[in-house]
């Protein structure tokens, strides 16, 4: 039995770990991986503590996916060491990663749309009573797990295809918890979700932290990272390019570490552009569609460049149409 697993078996909902030191669960040191002449990872260090959300960020090709796949047992490292609960380990395959206590939810979720929530959660690990599936016990355990996660699933007996994007992500995360893992890896969990569904998944990540799981969040969304992460690890061109506590960093600093540039449009906007604040603007006529009491509408002077944003919910037809 893994250290700590007995306690969680007695009480499925682990209390928040505030007020106590977090124990180191996973340590990766000097990890290297190459594919032919391409060096995907070079001397990378990475660690995760219990009850901690660690964001893994970087540009495309930075090595995030390779590092995650090493943890998931898809790839084996060419160099470096991996320690789990202080013991040196190897992860030769996905089954070994699961046995060790590492669960991965990839971006495609790998759900069976034609099966219901219960069948998806227990697929490959079905509970049996004699020669028959124990459908009652599996359904009861499914409801119990979803309640612990404060998940908003209308029924566990409807096909996954009928669920929204956020609900499907919830099912995939819940399935990863069936084996009681120490670490949960989430690969771009909010990439294809709308605003409401993103909030639902971020709340779910908070529940995972409260249960004592170490969470690795792979994301390009700096707002999501700043909202839920405790620590941010930046990869750039296959190497470590900074480790930051979220309380001490800004989005502009993270973007600078990701891109390798400290002077760009984003960092200048974050720092505040005094010239932009005083740039002359001209009024336009008020339109009938303008809200009552809205401030005087203004636009930039002729010849001035501007960026107009049209906010909206991504994939609205998929995510909100099924609510």
| pLDDT by residue, tens only, the chain of 323 residues | 344 444 433 333 333 334 345 789 999 999 999 999 999 999 999 999 999 999 999 999 999 999 999 999 999 999 999 999 999 999 999 999 999 999 999 888 889 999 999 999 999 888 888 889 999 999 999 999 998 888 888 999 999 999 988 899 989 999 999 888 999 999 999 887 888 888 889 999 999 999 999 999 999 999 999 999 999 999 999 999 999 999 999 999 999 999 987 655 555 665 655 454 444 445 555 555 555 555 555 556 566 666 777 776 554 444 444 44
Output the pLDDT for position 26: 96
> Based on the structure, what is the number of domains in the chain?
1
Output the pLDDT for position 297: 56
Structure token digits, residue 50: 């219990």
For residue 164, being part of any structural domain is answered with yes
Structure token digits, residue 37: 């002449």
Full residue range of the structural domain in which residue 209 is found:
5-267
CA 110 to chain centre: 16
For residue 301, being part of any structural domain is answered with no
Output the pLDDT for position 289: 54
170 near 198, Cβ under 8 Å? no
For residue 320, being part of any structural domain is answered with no
260 near 241, Cβ under 8 Å? yes
Structure token digits, residue 40: 């995907």
For residue 194, being part of any structural domain is answered with yes
We report the CATH number of the domain holding residue 74 as 3.40.50.300
What is the pTM assigned to this prediction?
Answer: 0.74
For residue 275, being part of any structural domain is answered with no
Output the pLDDT for position 278: 46
Output the pLDDT for position 125: 87
Cα 165 from Cα 315, distance rounded (Å):
9
Task: State the burial class of residue 85 (Cβ atoms within 10 Å of its Cβ: 0-12, 13-18, 19+).
Answer: middle
Residue 65 φ then ψ, to 5°: -65, -40
Output the pLDDT for position 14: 34
For residue 253, being part of any structural domain is answered with yes
Output the pLDDT for position 263: 58
234 near 240, Cβ under 8 Å? yes
Structure token digits, residue 122: 């227990």
User: Position of tokens 């949960």?
Assistant: 184
* Count of other CB atoms within 10 angstroms of residue 230: 16
Output the pLDDT for position 48: 96
For residue 27, being part of any structural domain is answered with yes
Output the pLDDT for position 281: 47
For residue 149, being part of any structural domain is answered with yes
């Amino acid at each position: 039995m893994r250290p700590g697993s007995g306690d969680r078996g007695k009480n499925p909902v682990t209390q928040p770990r505030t007020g106590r030191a977090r124990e180191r669960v996973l340590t990766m040191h000097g990890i290297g991986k190459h594919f032919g002449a391409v060096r995907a990872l070079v001397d990378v260090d990475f660690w995760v503590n219990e009850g901690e959300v660690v964001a893994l960020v970087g540009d495309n090709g930075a090595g995030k996916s390779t590092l995650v796949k090493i943890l998931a047992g898809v790839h084996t490292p060419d160099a470096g060491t991996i320690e789990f609960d202080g013991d040196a380990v190897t992860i030769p395959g996905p089954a070994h990663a699961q046995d060790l206590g590492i669960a991965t939810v990839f971006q495609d979720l790998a759900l069976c749309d034609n099966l219901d929530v219960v069948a998806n959660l227990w697929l490959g690990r079905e509970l049996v009573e004699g020669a028959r599936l124990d459908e009652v016990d599996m359904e009861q355990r499914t409801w119990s797990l979803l309640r612990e996660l404060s998940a908003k699933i209308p029924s566990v007996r409807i096909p996954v295809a009928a669920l929204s994007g956020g609900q499907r992500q919830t099912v995939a995360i819940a399935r990863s918890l069936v084996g009681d893992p120490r670490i949960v890896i989430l690969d771009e969990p909010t990439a294809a979700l709308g605003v409401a569904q993103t909030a639902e998944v971020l709340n779910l990540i908070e529940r995972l932290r409260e249960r004592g799981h170490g969470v690795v969040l792979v994301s390009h969304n700096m707002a999501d990272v700043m909202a839920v992460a405790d620590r941010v690890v930046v990869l750039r061109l296959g190497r470590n390019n900074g480790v930051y506590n979220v309380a001490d960093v800004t989005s502009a600093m993270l973007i600078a570490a990701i891109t390798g540039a400290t002077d760009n449009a984003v960092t200048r906007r974050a720092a505040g552009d005094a010239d932009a604040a005083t740039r002359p603007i001209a009024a336009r006529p008020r339109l009938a569609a303008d809200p009552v009491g809205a401030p005087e509408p203004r636009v930039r002077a002729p010849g001035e460049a501007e960026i107009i944003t049209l906010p909206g919910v991504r994939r609205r037809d998929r995510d909100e149409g099924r609510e």
